[in-house]
Amino acid sequence: MSKLFDLKNKNVLLTGASKGMGLAMAQGLVSHGANVVISSRKLDQCEEAAKTINESVDKEKAFAFACNASSKDDLNALVEFSLSKLGSITTLVCNAGVNSFFGSMSEIDDESYDKTMNTNVKSNHWLINMVLPSMKELGGGSIMITSSIAAFHASDTLGTYSMSKLAVLGLVRNYASELGPSNIRVNAICPGLVKTDFSKLLWEKPEAEKASSQRMPLRRLGEAHDFKGVAVFPSFR
């Protein structure tokens, strides 16, 4: 499979990548030959993730950089670091996201609302524009943003999160239309409920996991390792 999707000339910037789905995607990309900058808020977790990946392939293919995705200055620094380490950015995977409130939308405070919308939507808009010069200079590229199946459903407890993920789909559609003529592909990744720390509140109780699993065609929740190949195919061209 690694020969079918040879990514040895691909340089990937991946946010939200120190654990869970993001880490799995980073592992999948590197296993196919890509170079990857791993980013999340905590440097020690990024460094541990990069170390694990590099040891698995016995070479330095993953590089760690701490970044708060809601900070424009941090994102600029992340792009500069990625370009200095990789030389170019052929693929951007925006996987960082938050859900800062669990409950009725009528009760959400302004700070939690702004944090959710800014991190899940605006920061991706910023980051796309920061990497565009590199991609256009190369003659093309691939951009992926993690949305969610929550974008397609109403929720009594995750309303603002769901709304932010629907906005992500709008972001993806419009950038896909705008950047297509520049040979830059833009796609959304829409997971269901995955057993990671991010969604732990939704599955940590056995009865909650059982109820959610019964709604899935496979009768189980997603696992992080299910996403190892998700970013591989869109990165290949």
User: Domains in the chain, start-ordered, CATH in brackets?
Assistant: 11-235 (3.40.50.720)
Q: What is the dihedral of CA 225, 231, 236, 237, to 10 degrees?
A: 150
What are the φ and ψ backbone dihedral angles of 179, each rounded to 5 degrees?
-95, -10
The percent of the chain in helix, strand and coil, each rounded to the nearest 5, is 55, 15, 30
Q: Which amino acid is residue 123, in one-letter code?
A: S
Helices (H) and strands (E) in the chain — how many of each? 9, 6
Catalytic residue among 5, 81, 126, 161: 161
Cβ-contact 187, 234 below 8 angstroms: yes
- The pLDDT value given to residue 100: 77
- The pLDDT value given to residue 156: 83
pTM score: 0.88
Reply yes or no on whether 175 is catalytic. no
- The pLDDT value given to residue 199: 54
- The pLDDT value given to residue 24: 93
Q: 46: closest CA among 61, 65, 26?
A: 65
Write out the chain's pLDDT in tens, 237 residues: 456 688 998 999 999 999 888 999 999 999 999 999 999 999 999 999 999 999 999 999 999 999 999 999 999 999 999 999 999 999 999 999 888 787 898 999 999 999 999 999 999 999 999 999 999 999 999 999 999 877 888 888 888 988 999 999 999 999 999 999 999 999 999 887 776 665 555 545 576 556 556 566 766 666 767 778 888 878 876
